[in-house]
Amino acid sequence: MDRTVKPQGCTNLKLRQLMRRVAQHYDAEVGKTGLKGTQYSLLSYVLKLGPVRPVDLAHAARLDASTLTRNLRPLVDAGWVELGAGPDARSRLVAITPAGVHKRAEAQRHWRVAQESLNRQWGADRVQALHAMLDDCLALLEGDGGPQSVGSPKRAKNASAA
């Protein structure tokens, strides 16, 4: 007789419900700066990586090209990001402007308030465990080493972070 406990319900639905609620939480705080949470994240990537080719930015942010273009447009229009010439005539680079650095710093203070609020509500251990589990699941879905057994070094490392 198989006594294995099997997941019930739809993982996609559960993750989307959680993501919508978490996004609302961050957007409520970061929104005080005029940015959406997604815009804050994109500004952070550009600051960290830039000047960066759009294809590399999309890869780092795990966005497809059309979503990146759509999400960059308001940042460019606001003067927080600029698209400039790349190393050759066919390429472009995305760079953060001084105004973008300032806006990102302002938003980071609000992001921190939102993050610390979640840490208090959920508990730091639960947040750390969630981050480790999500990183592990993303790696499995992206084929970073294929299915991992419970005793593998990669899983053991992630489990110890939780």
One-letter identity of residue 84: G
Backbone φ and ψ of 83, nearest 5°: -105, 120
pLDDT for res 40: 95
Task: Tell me the Cα Rg of the chain.
Answer: 19
Query: H/E element holding 83?
Result: strand 81-85
CB atoms within 10 A of CB 69: 14
Beta bridge partners of 52: 94
Contact yes or no for 145/68 (Cβ under 8 A)? no
Handedness of CA 127, 130, 12, 61 (dihedral sign): positive
pLDDT for res 74: 96
pLDDT for res 87: 81
CB atoms within 10 A of CB 60: 13
| Coil, helix or strand at residue 145 | coil
pLDDT in tens, the chain (162 residues): 667 877 778 889 999 999 999 999 999 999 999 999 999 999 999 999 989 999 999 999 989 999 999 999 999 999 999 999 888 878 899 999 999 999 999 999 999 999 999 999 999 999 999 999 999 998 998 875 444 433 333 433 333 332
pLDDT for res 4: 80
- Which residues, at least 6 apart from 7, have a Cβ–Cβ distance to it below 8 Å? none
Q: Which two tokens stand for residue 160?
A: 């110890």
pLDDT for res 127: 95
Report pTM.
0.76
